[in-house]
Amino acid sequence: MDDLFPNKKTAFRLFELNSIIKNVISSALPEAYWVAAEIAEAKLNQRGHCYLELVEKEDSKIIAQVKANIWAYDYRKLSHKFQAAANESLKPGMKVLLLAAVTFHEVYGLSLNVKDIDPAYTMGEMALKKREVIERLTKEGLMGLNKSLSLPIVPQRIAVVSSPTAAGYGDFFGQLDNNPYGYAFVHTLFPALMQGTGAEQSIIASLGQVRQKKDLFDVLVIIRGGGSAIDLNCFDSYNLASEVAKFPLPVITGIGHEKDDTVVDMTAHTKMKTPTAVAEFLISGLRCFEDNVLEMQDRVIRYAERLIRDENHALKTFTQRLNFVSIQWTASLKSRVEGIDKDLRRQTRQFMQNAVNRLENLEKVVGLLDPVNVLRRGYSITRLQGKALKDISCLRKGDVIDTRLFSGVIKSVVETAKEAEESEQEQTVDLFSGIDRA
């Protein structure tokens, strides 16, 4: 890096910079927003993803432009919803109202991720009351509140708000319980009026019951079997839509109509057109989870195989290095042992020589102390009855003593025995002490 930047300038890699931009946008714009725009271009690829080019014009001049995408999973339901309401598909020149999250990708840049679409805006037939309710909910930040909740990975515990006699309810649990994969679902009905006078309050009351037991469920489903605009009027009320928006569980609606979206559909997490479609959606959630588990299993197996290969390679490399180091260490140890052997031999020879020298010195000292050599120097040895005489106190008159000189032996008879003066004893002791020291 120093060679690339000789002036020591701080530089970001493009990926690092784009990652920072992505994090800033995610933090600053965490919610989804309703955006009104015109479709300048619409493309559908082979995988089912829809790519849009959105613009805003003023006097035929483009004053704003952004890319948008609707992923295949969402596009399938959104396109059905729009087609049913407007009797045509999304196309260039069409003005739309989209619920979108602002996203930034390190490779593809800035775009809007479309979560929902309001066909009524495009058709220009939205009732004033419905528009006012939507605007109020949007102003209060409630339109995307329930959508911000995460769908459970395995949505098996389902609270259902519906009429027990509704055909849609029977279709729902029949589809759910008889799914081809054998997935087990637990669904609990919270009965409510789904049309007419009192329907709004009845549904809100049932939502309150589910809220009290929210820990027992993964999602809330609101379903009915379709009906006229008058029958569905309660689903455009502010109070009901607000309760759905603020509900602590993801809300999935299957009210069974195709011509228009109710406000409850718009504030719910996910809107499906029929109760059966809701059941299929939940089944697909479990299917998706199973596919992910199987994919993760494959990934774990592939990772384990790669890890084993890498570890085998690392072990082989380590073994080779260990052999090389072992050879070097053995050679070094051999050299050290040879050096120690030489030092030991030299020290042993020196020790033996010193020992020999000490023995020779001791032999000389012993030779000097030999009685023969002492006698040669003029000293004599006196014995009484064969024992060397050291003290005259044991002599008696008439005792026969032998005095050995260097050249012979003298026999004597004791007449008198007189102790020597102290000075003489000291001289004698000094003499023999000197012999001992020699």
What are the extents of the domains in the chain?
1-126, 372-437
* CB burial string 230-239: b at 16+ within 10 A, e below: ebbbbbbbbe
Rounded distance between C-alpha atoms, residue 17 and residue 10, angstroms: 12
CA dihedral of 339, 342, 348, 352, whole degrees rounded to 10: -150
Cβ atoms of 168 and 256 within 8 Å: the answer is: yes
* pLDDT band at residue 258 under the 50/70/90 scheme: low
Q: H helices of 369-379, where?
A: 371-376
Q: Say if residue 436's pLDDT is above 70.
A: no
pLDDT (tens digit per residue) in 39-73:
889 898 888 899 999 998 887 788 999 999 999 88
1-126 CATH? 2.40.50.140
Mean pLDDT of 347-355: 87
The per-residue pLDDT for 124 is 57
**392-422 per-position pLDDT tens digit:** 777 888 888 888 787 888 888 888 877 655 5
CA dihedral (276, 282, 286, 289) positive or negative? positive
Cβ-contact 189, 206 below 8 angstroms: no
Is the full-model pTM beyond 0.75?
Answer: no
Residue type, 181: Y
> 260: pLDDT confidence band, cut at 50, 70 and 90?
low
How many alpha carbons fall within 13 Å on the CB side of residue 411?
Answer: 5
Give the pLDDT confidence score for residue 126 in this predicted structure. 42
Which pLDDT does position 87 carry in this prediction? 62
Distance, CA of 12 to chain centre: 26
Q: Which amino acid is at 6?
A: P
330 — pLDDT class (breaks 50, 70, 90): confident
pLDDT digits (tens, 9 = 90+) for 132-183: 888 899 999 999 999 999 999 899 999 999 998 887 888 898 999 999 988 9
Segment 352-399, tens digit of pLDDT: 888 888 888 888 777 777 777 777 777 788 888 878 777 777 788 888
pLDDT for 1:
45
Amino acid 365 reads: V
Confidence at residue 198, expressed as pLDDT on a 0 to 100 scale: 83
Q: For 113-127, what is the mean pLDDT? A: 74
Compute the distance between CA of residue 354 and CA of residue 356 in angstroms, rounded to an integer. Answer: 5
- Half-sphere exposure at residue 50, Cβ-oriented, CA atoms within 13 angstroms: 22
Say if residue 208's pLDDT is above 90: yes
Q: What number is the average pLDDT over the span 87-112? A: 84
Bridge-partner residues for 252, per DSSP?
A: 221, 270
pLDDT at 80 over 60: yes
Exposed / middle / buried, residue 79 (Cβ in 10 Å: 0-12, 13-18, 19+): middle
How confident is the prediction for the chain on average, in pLDDT?
83
Contact 27, 21 (CB under 8 A): no
pLDDT at 425: 47
Tokens standing for 205? 């009351």
pLDDT above 70 (res 127): no
